[in-house]
Amino acid sequence: MTYIPLGERPEWADVTPIPQADAPNALVPIMYTQEYKDASDYFRAVVASGEKSPRVLDLTRTLLSLNAAHYTVWQYRFQTVLALGDDAVAAELKFLDEYAVQNLKSYQVWHHRLSLISHASPADPRPEIEFVHATFIPEPKNYHTWTYIHWLYSHFSDLGRISPQQWDDELDWCEGLIAADGRNNSAWGWRWFLRVARPGAVGLENDGREEIEYALTEIHRIPHNASAWNYLRGIIRAVNAPRDTILPALTPYLAGAAVPVPAAKLDLGYPTREGPLSVDTPLPVPLALEFLADTLAEGGQLADASAVFGQLASEVDRMRAAYWEHRRSQCVNA
């Protein structure tokens, strides 16, 4: 479709565009398209006059179709929507239902939606939660969407609009994401918020037993999954759990360790692996060796811990040899 300049449209006849104030003979001028330059000139004019009208929404939509990351345009569009009233807010959210899916990677889109939802303050946030869940289907690791859902639950929880059942349902949804992709680190971070970090979280009760068991089960499913190992280490640190009570459950991943795996002093019955490891699983698992070394160091067996860190540096994880040598030196110089 042929572009018609705004100056040739009767609805814009009363506006004098304001061109961009480039320096004379600019060394490297930006090569804007004619449509973008034209819309920007008229945008500067309506901002200068303070106009907030339906045609301003049309103008900002044109600009955003050409540059979805334009902070200033989004902010003025938000102010215009509010000035036009509640019907405009509802229409804008409906517009974003489609636009956000088309621009999932745009921080500005999600911030705009956050501002609108915060202003509208629905009594029941469930429709918004369902919308956000749907946007994770094409892109389950999108940082901006995860930031938004953190805000959504925190904000409406503070307002008393998240029920205990909704928290349970959200945990079920999160576990579904992890089941689909155990290496989705964002989903693991969301589980941490739901079970540990949020006000009222109960994941650390009973010395974090349930969370330790969950992490171990996921390690048994994907032994080289750094997300599950990091979650396990986080829970152990949060509850100050002794590693030697957990180590027996990780023995299958320590085949070929530089030192014998110490016998359990206390068997707490943590879930162990069922069935043999796949022949495609390289052993020993570096993350398991690190856990072993930390367990040995925690028990004062520094020479053995040093040997395991040395094995990581020289054989198992040479990519991070400098780090493992640093850990080994800490044992030697302790």
Q: What whole-number distance in Å separates Cα of residue 58 and Cα of residue 39?
A: 10
Nearest C-alpha neighbor of 211 from the set 225, 198, 223, 194: 194
Instruction: With beta carbons less than 8 A apart as the criterion, state whether 40 and 65 touch.
Output: no
* Set 37, 52, 94, 105: catalytic member: 105
Nearest C-alpha neighbor of 47 from the set 23, 75, 27: 75
* Torsion (CA) 284, 287, 293, 297 in degrees, nearest 10: -160
Q: What whole-number distance in Å separates Cα of residue 81 and Cα of residue 87?
A: 9
Report the Cα 152 to chain-centroid distance in Å. Answer: 13
Question: Which residue, chain included where needed, has tokens 């949060």?
Answer: 238
Question: Which residue, chain included where needed, has tokens 């006059």?
Answer: 49
Is residue 52 annotated as part of the catalytic site, yes or no?
no
**Cβ-based neighbour number of residue 86 at 10 Å:** 11
Question: Which residue, chain included where needed, has tokens 């040093």?
Answer: 306
Q: What whole-number distance in Å separates Cα of residue 73 and Cα of residue 57?
A: 10
String of b and e for 18-29 (b: at least 16 CB within 10 Å)?
beeeeeeeeeee
Report the Cα 69 to chain-centroid distance in Å. Answer: 20
Q: CB within 8 A of 295, min separation 6: which ones?
A: 243, 244, 247, 262
Q: What whole-number distance in Å separates Cα of residue 274 and Cα of residue 184?
A: 23
Q: What whole-number distance in Å separates Cα of residue 262 and Cα of residue 62?
A: 67
Catalytic positions: 105
